[in-house]
Structure 1
Amino acid sequence: MDIKKEFEKNRERFISDLQGLIRIPSVATEADGAYPFGKEVQRAFSYMLDLGKSMGFEVKNVDHYGGHIDFPGSEDGIMAVVGHIDVVPEGDEWTYDPFGGTIEGDWIVGRGAQDDKGPTMAGLYAMKVLKDLGFQPKKTVRLILGLDEEACWDGMRYYLQHEKAPDFGIVPDADFPLVQCEKGLLQLDLVKDCTEGTSLTGTERLVLESVEGGTAPNVVAGHADMVITGTETELNEVCQKINMEAKQKGYEIKMISDEVRLTVSVKGEPAHAAVPERGENAISMALDLIRDIRFANEDANHLMNFYHDKIGFHLDGSRIGCNMEDELSGALTFNVGGIVFNSAETRITVDIRYPVTASQEAVCEGLEAAIRESGFKLEVFDHIRSIYQESCNPVVKTLIETYREISGDMETKPSVIGGATFARAIPNCMAFGALFPGDPELEHQKDEKVQISQMIKAGTIYAEAIYRLTK
């Protein structure tokens, strides 16, 4: 079978189908009628099921929480290809329409192009190519479609409660040649009620009314906005101070002021929370600009003290009691993905990726000890265990051999990531591509894009791996 040649024959249709999927703004939202993740996610889901049917595959919708596209086998057993078609919010400062599916040379641009619509489409086309070549798998090949991977995985949990879990599988949502280890993921809010009120004595009327920033826990905050009120004289002084600080530190800001109100907008650089060092956190930058200002509302002063003492620009949790590291998976990462501060409460949203030998309990114990005297409390809203794949696993061996034979890359070793893929949700599944060594990692960033020729090569590897594992 000439899989590579057959994939190239499908190149234009692959591009067109991927553009159509990217053009659906499938950011998961609150439930909308029968659709637990909103109408746009449902629209993307229906789009993929319809594509599967048009290719001659069997499809199933599991109560709109997830579903699959089946290439039926002649015997028992299921090999899964597990992707997701929801995306993180688009954010700001795009050069292109984030949901346009724009073609620029050999690249397709749009939210989800890399994470995870492009790789998921490559998995579907791997199945199509094998079917068109007349291959009959012994095991059923099942493309499982996740609908809230960028949120809390409720859809995948529901799906697995109602459908038989596959025997093994691949997750095209990371890097080649293979992800051997995924760190634990812990998402939580640091919360404190604002109860101390505002003291307006004499001319001291400078109040930090609000701070808001970030788009999602698993994204380095790309923007933050602060509103400060006070007398005209006080605001002029604050405006000059912030402007000077921003110029000295190279921060990009915008300020709008009238006689009693100053709005400060800070621009950062979004990145995936698993690699926070690749971004610039606008929340940390914003609070850094006002760290030396004394406000009339004590809750604001407590926020300043707490943030700079316990978080600041430290990305390893070392200031807040949870820095840990192991030889297998490296150091913990700590990302502030959101903040809300107002007269009612302070809420700092945090994404932590911890080493494979650590635990949720150990991380939370360290955090609670560090914040005990601050008035803040922990509210955990998501946790996903770490995973490790043994090198002797026959599926691991087959996948790595397939990658090396087709790519010619004999040097790159299996990796450790902080990112969380659906490999954690399904036993004996492992993240396998679709990014090649050296490819730019643009997921969750502005102008997210993927190289078409690389996606076709990834699809060719997927097709060959499916063939070897199900023949």
Structure 2
Amino acid sequence: MLQERVNQYFENKESTFVDAISRLIAVKSVQEKPLPGMPFGKGPADALALALNMANELGFSTANFDNYVGTVNLSDRETRLGMLCHLDVVGEGIGWSTPPYEAVLKDGMLYGRGSSDNKGPAVAALFALKAVKDLGIPLQYNARLILGTDEETASSDIVYYFERQPAPRFVFSPDGAFPVTNTEKGGLKTTFTKNWSVSEALPRVTAVKGGAIINVIPQQAEAWVEGMSVAELQPICEGVAKTTGAEFNITRENGSVRILAVGKGGHAAMPEKSNNALTALLTLLSALPLAESESAQAIRELNRLFPHGDYYGKAIGIAQSDEISGPLTLSFDIYEQTLTGFSGRFDSRTPLCATRENSLDVVAQRFAGLGIALESKVTAPHHTSCDSPFIQTLLKTYEQYTGRKGFCESTGGGTYVHHIDGGVAFGAMMPGFESKMHGADEHASIADLVTASKVFTQVIADVCG
């Protein structure tokens, strides 16, 4: 039976996984300014070169599509299955207990940026190809590993690739969790601004800054206040800390008081798993006895629109949900305020029931009434029926190798399959596993990645045999 051979093949392979993933983690593949021949900067290009070299070392034919995408082929036959992974990562942020770009193995968990999102799963897919090859499993069709380098920012890499290559008939991306994610919410990403004249009245907020990446909930945010002492601020900070769960550190710097808010960062698709330092800070600033000004008014307005702990857009008026995709989520992720205005961005993941009328138009109307200028980008949701034969094959294989019940679920995250008909996310994390992706101390279970590789091996055999 093939399952017995696959299980035997992957015995004692954990160290091989650790070594391969560690090599990729060591490459800081955060997107940077483009360079000649490197559309997303040196880091992503270096990670792609390393991954393709690793595949060559394993005896596979590879191709590099102008440092946008690389491919690894099992054979030269017609490609029937595509496995889409990415090698770029989000920035490391702060708060790590291990070096973010130096893999550390502790208690079966491999720590490092990209360990779970998505370098670890990419290695699991690569070793599945190797298992099929080494076991001599007969196939009628090719399976292809497709490695991108711009998933975290805009996925322009995969667009570039599919403009030049046809999509395989069946596609999955191990960029989520098992069993199968067949629904990906849509997106509403905004940039909003407002300007005013300088007010000299004290107390006043002279600056606020929090967040840097639209799909990462800020772990820290800071503000500078004039006209109040540390002693006056301390009891207010202590009270707000109790209600928000955030930590506030106060220091006097150059005649102002600096307030540093510390929360818990994470992925914008799951704001309920984080503690947004920015919204906690706005809660605090709204509680201060500031002099009346447009600046103070703006802080209070934003605090009403994005109150701390409102993960679902209730205050701004767009909360909604449906049975298949679940609730709309919203996270206020980037904000900068000066003496003369502000610029902010929020990231909302919208369910199947969302429309322009019940989401974007509502936000636009609220902002217009407050004199806030708005720019937005809307992405439609993605859904593949759980009854599709491909999904049923994936679920059957998952059940076969894990002994767990397979089912379909929705996510607020987006993967490469978002615009691919019939595509789904499949693995590589096990249900309920908290990887801390996009946050500090991101990690992956090596045992789970080995299991994922077994599952992928069987899927290749079933789909391409």
Counterpart residue number, 2:436: 442
Task: Give SS of 1:115's match.
Answer: coil
What is the deviation of 1:89? 1.2
* C-alpha distance in structure 1 between counterparts of 2:311 and 2:271, whole Å: 7
Counterpart residue number, 2:408: 414
Correspondence list, 1:340-419, <5 A: 340-360=336-356, 362-380=358-376, 382-410=377-405, 412-419=406-413
Counterpart residue number, 2:109: 107
Correspondence list, 1:273-288, <5 A: 273-288=268-283
Which of the numbers 69, 72, 77 marks the counterpart of 1:69? 72
Runs of 4+ in 1 over 6 A off after TM superposition: none
Task: Give SS of 1:87's match.
Answer: coil
Which of the numbers 171, 174, 177 marks the counterpart of 1:175? 177
What is the deviation of 1:360? 4.7
Which of 36-45 and 240-249 deviates more?
240-249
Query: Which whole-Å deviations, capped at 9, do the CAs of 1:11-56 have from their partners, x for residues lacking one?
Result: 3222101101011111112213321111111111111111111112
Task: Give SS of 1:152's match.
Answer: coil
* C-alpha distance in structure 2 between counterparts of 1:41 and 1:360, whole Å: 35
Q: Contact 2:236/2:287 (CA < 8 Å) preserved in 1?
A: no
* C-alpha distance in structure 1 between counterparts of 2:242 and 2:327, whole Å: 31
Q: Contact 2:204/2:296 (CA < 8 Å) preserved in 1?
A: no
Which of the numbers 143, 149, 156 marks the counterpart of 2:145? 143
The reply to whether residue 333 of structure 1 matches residue 334 of structure 2 is no
* C-alpha distance in structure 1 between counterparts of 2:338 and 2:11, whole Å: 55
* C-alpha distance in structure 1 between counterparts of 2:378 and 2:156, whole Å: 12
**CA 1:435–1:258 in 2, change beyond 3 Å: closer, same or farther?**
closer
Which of the numbers 256, 271, 286 marks the counterpart of 1:291? 286
Q: Contact 1:8/1:456 (CA < 8 Å) preserved in 2?
A: no
Task: Give SS of 2:171's match.
Answer: strand
What is the deviation of 1:65? 1.5
Which of 18-27 and 131-140 deviates more?
131-140
* C-alpha distance in structure 2 between counterparts of 1:283 and 1:318, whole Å: 18
Query: Which whole-Å deviations, capped at 9, do the CAs of 1:372-426 have from their partners, x for residues lacking one?
Result: 211112212x44321112122110111111111111113x521111111111132
**CA 1:34–1:297 in 2, change beyond 3 Å: closer, same or farther?**
farther
* C-alpha distance in structure 2 between counterparts of 1:154 and 1:429, whole Å: 17
Q: Contact 1:325/1:331 (CA < 8 Å) preserved in 2?
A: yes
**CA 1:331–1:17 in 2, change beyond 3 Å: closer, same or farther?**
same
**CA 1:32–1:316 in 2, change beyond 3 Å: closer, same or farther?**
same
Which of 345-354 and 256-265 deviates more?
256-265
The reply to whether residue 218 of structure 1 matches residue 215 of structure 2 is yes
What is the deviation of 1:223? 0.6
* C-alpha distance in structure 1 between counterparts of 2:169 and 2:241, whole Å: 57
Which of the numbers 260, 264, 272 marks the counterpart of 1:265? 260
What is the deviation of 1:348? 1.6
Q: Contact 2:27/2:47 (CA < 8 Å) preserved in 1?
A: yes
Provide TM-score, normalisation by structure 2: 0.94
Identity of aligned residues (%): 27
Correspondence list, 1:200-219, <5 A: 200=200, 204-219=201-216
* C-alpha distance in structure 1 between counterparts of 2:319 and 2:210, whole Å: 25
**CA 1:229–1:456 in 2, change beyond 3 Å: closer, same or farther?**
same
Q: Contact 2:435/2:444 (CA < 8 Å) preserved in 1?
A: no
What is the deviation of 1:428? 2.0
Q: Which amino acid aligns with 1:338?
A: I
Counterpart residue number, 1:16: 19
Task: Give SS of 2:272's match.
Answer: helix
Q: Contact 2:80/2:463 (CA < 8 Å) preserved in 1?
A: no
* C-alpha distance in structure 1 between counterparts of 2:226 and 2:331, whole Å: 29
Gaps of 5+ in 2: none
**CA 1:248–1:80 in 2, change beyond 3 Å: closer, same or farther?**
closer
Q: Contact 1:91/1:215 (CA < 8 Å) preserved in 2?
A: no
* C-alpha distance in structure 2 between counterparts of 1:302 and 1:154, whole Å: 39
Which of 54-63 and 451-460 deviates more?
54-63
Which of 242-251 and 108-117 deviates more?
242-251
Task: Give SS of 2:369's match.
Answer: coil
Query: Which whole-Å deviations, capped at 9, do the CAs of 1:208-267 have from their partners, x for residues lacking one?
Result: 12111123221221110111233xxx3345433443334543431222204611111110
Task: Give SS of 2:267's match.
Answer: coil
Task: Give SS of 2:34's match.
Answer: coil
Counterpart residue number, 1:432: 426
**CA 1:77–1:464 in 2, change beyond 3 Å: closer, same or farther?**
same
The reply to whether residue 196 of structure 1 matches residue 190 of structure 2 is no
How many pairs are equivalent?
Answer: 460
Provide TM-score, normalisation by structure 1: 0.93
Which of the numbers 165, 172, 183 marks the counterpart of 1:163? 165
